A = this chain, B = another copy of it.
Amino acid sequence: MMRHKLVKQGILIFTLFFTTVAQAQLHQFVDPKIGSEGLGNVFIGPSCPYGMVKPGPDNSVGANSGYSPDKDKAIYGFSQLHVSGTGGGPKYGNVSVMPFSGDLGSIELESLRGDEQVELGYYSVMLQKWTIQTQITTSDRAAFYHFSFQPEEEKNVKIDLGKFLGEPAIPDPDARESQQFVGSEVEVVSDSEVRGYTRIRGGWNNGSAYTVYFAAVFDQPFTEFTSWKGTRLYPGKKIQVDSGDKTGVLLAFDGSNEDLQMKIGISFLSPLKARANIDQEIAHWDFDQTLAETREKWETIFKRVEVDQDAAPELRAMFYTGLYHTMLMPVDRTGENPFWENHGPYYDDFYAIWDTYRSSSPLITLLTPSRQVNIVNAMLQIYKRDGYMPDARSGNSNGRTQGGSNGEVVIADAFVKDLPGINYKVGLAAMLKDATIPPGGNEEKEGRGGLTDYNRLGYVSTDFVRAGNRTLEYAYNDYCLAMVAKGIKRKGEYWRFIEQADNWQNLWRDIEDHGSRGFIMPKDAHGNWVDSIQCAANNGRISYVPYTPVAQDWPICVCWWCGFFYEASSWEYSLSVPHDVAKLVELSGGREAFRKRLDTLFDKKLYNVANEPSFMSPNLYHWIGRPDLSNDRIHRIIDTHYDSSPSGIPGNDDSGAMSSWLAFHLMGLYPNAGQSYYLINSPWFKKTVIHQENGKDFTIEAKNLSAKNKYIQSAKLNGEDFPKAWIEHEDIIMGGTLVLEMGPVPQKWGTEILPPSKSDQEI
């Protein structure tokens, strides 16, 4: 059934879609608006899983998703590419279309919005200026628009190749993080088809130019058109060739039908490939069919995790929306790489691995390992052709690195979880490239900035920016490298890098702050601790600012990227040693001191729920035998900061990083990415069944779970006593049932066999 509008005395009546659905489907729990207000920055338009096309409304050129929830911000177009949850300078927002009524005399059009409807695979809005309803759904590489105009009003559509997100108000080709216009082209191919492209460079990752080709086809002919170049209109001119100017076309449709449909295909190869993408994916004009197909793609994924059917709908909304957000990116562009042979999988918009390696990659691996194999192989192909794996990548360009070369963690995570079909020798080569060859030139593009220091001194000195988190992350990256080297019997590399995995200790300074001892602190190249950091201050002068464990975000400094830590304080980062928490406990003064340290972190608000560096922190109580305290923290964090409302994600969702953190915890699991186990906490669901790709089910049952019975008393795996608060990936993929007995008071469970740590294993 077509979801069209009926206009009757000014009242819009929507036919009820859900009436046709016989039984509730999991995708109905997804609410793409979760995270669309506040800091979440999620994309609200329709998308397939990892879908290349992400059409949606743009009402703010400075918004990362193109979308501001502010009702006073007028929509100026619907563009075909977006990212979800990102921060910093925006990317994409290309090939903007806009329906309108009136004449073909202006290229700047905008309207306030009403009656916005956002569902998985579906977006609808009323453009109030002309009372035009715009409905959108999408396939992987083609968007489907249904416009409903007012009777007697003109049916026009603008296709604008000059619009993009993050354009500086005053053109500045050297501006950092803003996108820059390079060129565009439009061709009216027939009376129902337009093709062309827009070419943009820059954006957050400071990437090279990318070209978005499109083909737009309509279900009825246009009778008049005006193309433009720059600000000049050319009625009836079919071609505007690329001369480095902004171009587009205004189309006018005739006929009595109030409705107009458009399919717009996207490609990174050519306009003809964009057209072929339409023909291959949407060879009809049935909007609902495309919508249904997109929902089915998601449903197939969601069905891999069956949660307690009695759980509150809000909880299921949070969970399935979490999966949904996790699987919007990276984007599957297999067959669409314009720089090398398209024989293998290609993914783009790793935005950024710094964010997603922690929980997104492990979640994809757990639910759809075949997908993760393709993603990893794409990363290795990027290494082979571009020279380095990405730590972040967008628009076919690596960049920017925020700290480590966390591709290492992704490779190691795949390796320790035994993902098949990956050449781990190439994986090791890619990791070794990061670890041994300085990227040079632009040290924010890829590889490891400050590597010369790190390999010479065992830490990154204050001669380099972000020395603190670079050192910490490189040490863990080295641990991951060592694990793969060991696994494929490359002992020389193993011994070198397992030793380097302790490098974080070279910046461990025995000072006290807020009653806790030992912090990762800046050290110069001569080995001296430094107490202040040089930075460019807001007054334009170079200043030295005192550096303490609580210093954060350099309020008096201009450069966001130039501090000792990236986006967090030493209080947060000093706990970021995922491979050796036992050593961290020891250096902090033992279990009791470590417990106090964690309590201080949370109680004194030194913990930042809204960013990735602290993702693991609430779980660290596991390593002092107190999973009940991890449990308390995690439940409090989620209850306080997450919900199913539009502002239900407390920070930038970062391509689903926060969403995947949430989804894991709701199931009662949390991965230590790069290592082969999951930490166990109390789930939110009484029962969770993972229907794995290998055909084996893994079930987590939380017996007697209630608000009061929130602690795991004991556990059984396949009927056998399971005293550990962590479980190996292998135990899950073999299938089985983990029964958690719940009760009101913590018991002995999880207090004895602690999760692995490097220093334990060496003993």
Interface, chain A (partner B; CB < 8 A) = 173-174, 180-183, 185, 187, 197, 199, 201, 208-209, 211, 239, 241-244, 269-270, 272-273, 275-276, 335, 338-343, 384, 387-388, 437-443, 446-447, 452
New A-B pairs, 9, CB < 8 Å, besides A182-B339, A241-B273, A437-B440:
A181-B341, A182-B340, A183-B269, A211-B338, A241-B270, A241-B272, A439-B440, A441-B441, A452-B452
Residue in B180, B275, B342 whose CB lies within 8 Å of A341: B180
Q: Are B273 and A242 in contact (CB under 8 A)?
A: yes
Per the bound structure, the CA–CA distance linking A339 and B210 in Å amounts to: 8
Q: Are A335 and B441 in contact (CB under 8 A)?
A: no
Sample (10) of A-B pairs whose CB atoms are under 8 Å apart:
A173-B341, A174-B384, A182-B339, A187-B272, A201-B339, A209-B339, A242-B270, A438-B438, A438-B441, A441-B446
- Contact partners of A182 in chain B: CB under 8 A: 338-342
- Contact partners of A239 in chain B: CB under 8 A: 272
A-B interface, 8 closest residue pairs, ranked by CB to CB distance from nearest: A440-B440, A244-B342, A209-B339, A241-B276, A438-B440, A439-B440, A242-B269, A241-B272
Q: Are B270 and A185 in contact (CB under 8 A)?
A: yes
Q: Are A338 and B276 in contact (CB under 8 A)?
A: no
Q: How far is the CB of A381 from chain B (nearest CB, A)?
A: 10
Residues A201 and B340 in contact in the complex (CB < 8 Å), given A243-B335, A335-B244? yes
Residue in B180, B199, B446 whose CB lies within 8 Å of A338: B199
- Contact partners of A244 in chain B: CB under 8 A: 335, 341-343
CB closest residue in chain B, given A451: B440
Q: Are A242 and B183 in contact (CB under 8 A)?
A: no
Per the bound structure, the CA–CA distance linking A44 and B675 in Å amounts to: 61
- Contact partners of A187 in chain B: CB under 8 A: 272
Per the bound structure, the CA–CA distance linking A443 and B387 in Å amounts to: 11
CB closest residue in chain B, given A181: B341
Output the residue of A340, A384, A437 with the most chain B CB within 10 A. A340
Per the bound structure, the CA–CA distance linking A270 and B338 in Å amounts to: 14
Q: How far is the CB of A155 from chain B (nearest CB, A)?
A: 28
Per the bound structure, the CA–CA distance linking A182 and B336 in Å amounts to: 11
Q: How far is the CB of A461 from chain B (nearest CB, A)?
A: 15
Q: Are B342 and A387 in contact (CB under 8 A)?
A: no
Per the bound structure, the CA–CA distance linking A183 and B335 in Å amounts to: 10
Per the bound structure, the CA–CA distance linking A261 and B130 in Å amounts to: 53
Q: How far is the CB of A528 from chain B (nearest CB, A)?
A: 21
- Contact partners of A272 in chain B: CB under 8 A: 185, 187, 239, 241-242
Q: Are B387 and A441 in contact (CB under 8 A)?
A: yes
Q: Are A388 and B339 in contact (CB under 8 A)?
A: no
- Contact partners of A338 in chain B: CB under 8 A: 182-183, 199, 209, 211
- Contact partners of A270 in chain B: CB under 8 A: 185, 197, 241-242
CB closest residue in chain B, given A210: B339
- Contact partners of A197 in chain B: CB under 8 A: 270
- Contact partners of A452 in chain B: CB under 8 A: 452
Per the bound structure, the CA–CA distance linking A387 and B174 in Å amounts to: 12
Q: Are A340 and B438 in contact (CB under 8 A)?
A: no
Q: How far is the CB of A338 from chain B (nearest CB, A)?
A: 7
CB closest residue in chain B, given A448: B440
Q: How far is the CB of A502 from chain B (nearest CB, A)?
A: 25
Per the bound structure, the CA–CA distance linking A244 and B337 in Å amounts to: 10
CB closest residue in chain B, given A343: B244
Q: How far is the CB of A304 from chain B (nearest CB, A)?
A: 31
Per the bound structure, the CA–CA distance linking A388 and B442 in Å amounts to: 10
- Contact partners of A201 in chain B: CB under 8 A: 339-340
Q: How far is the CB of A398 from chain B (nearest CB, A)?
A: 10
- Contact partners of A181 in chain B: CB under 8 A: 341
Q: How far is the CB of A697 from chain B (nearest CB, A)?
A: 39
Per the bound structure, the CA–CA distance linking A443 and B446 in Å amounts to: 15
Per the bound structure, the CA–CA distance linking A706 and B426 in Å amounts to: 68
Per the bound structure, the CA–CA distance linking A275 and B339 in Å amounts to: 24
Per the bound structure, the CA–CA distance linking A536 and B384 in Å amounts to: 23
CB closest residue in chain B, given A187: B272
Residues A183 and B441 in contact in the complex (CB < 8 Å), given A241-B273, A272-B242? no
Per the bound structure, the CA–CA distance linking A675 and B474 in Å amounts to: 47
CB closest residue in chain B, given A183: B269
Residues A387 and B442 in contact in the complex (CB < 8 Å), given A269-B183, A335-B243? yes
Q: How far is the CB of A399 from chain B (nearest CB, A)?
A: 12
CB closest residue in chain B, given A197: B270
Per the bound structure, the CA–CA distance linking A20 and B340 in Å amounts to: 51
CB closest residue in chain B, given A449: B440
- Contact partners of A243 in chain B: CB under 8 A: 335, 342
Per the bound structure, the CA–CA distance linking A342 and B242 in Å amounts to: 10
- Contact partners of A339 in chain B: CB under 8 A: 182, 201, 208-209
- Contact partners of A276 in chain B: CB under 8 A: 241
Q: How far is the CB of A437 from chain B (nearest CB, A)?
A: 6
CB closest residue in chain B, given A173: B341
Output the residue of A244, A276, A442, A446 with the most chain B CB within 10 A. A244
- Contact partners of A439 in chain B: CB under 8 A: 440-441
Q: How far is the CB of A750 from chain B (nearest CB, A)?
A: 46
Per the bound structure, the CA–CA distance linking A54 and B483 in Å amounts to: 53
Q: How far is the CB of A228 from chain B (nearest CB, A)?
A: 16
- Contact partners of A273 in chain B: CB under 8 A: 185, 241-242
- Contact partners of A335 in chain B: CB under 8 A: 243-244
Per the bound structure, the CA–CA distance linking A174 and B381 in Å amounts to: 11
Per the bound structure, the CA–CA distance linking A273 and B183 in Å amounts to: 12
Q: Are A441 and B340 in contact (CB under 8 A)?
A: no
Per the bound structure, the CA–CA distance linking A388 and B441 in Å amounts to: 8
Q: How far is the CB of A5 from chain B (nearest CB, A)?
A: 36
- Contact partners of A441 in chain B: CB under 8 A: 387-388, 437-441, 446-447
Q: How far is the CB of A664 from chain B (nearest CB, A)?
A: 35
Q: How far is the CB of A270 from chain B (nearest CB, A)?
A: 5
CB closest residue in chain B, given A387: B441
Per the bound structure, the CA–CA distance linking A384 and B206 in Å amounts to: 13
- Contact partners of A440 in chain B: CB under 8 A: 437-441, 443, 447
Per the bound structure, the CA–CA distance linking A341 and B269 in Å amounts to: 20
CB closest residue in chain B, given A180: B341
CB closest residue in chain B, given A443: B440
- Contact partners of A199 in chain B: CB under 8 A: 338
- Contact partners of A388 in chain B: CB under 8 A: 441
CB closest residue in chain B, given A386: B208
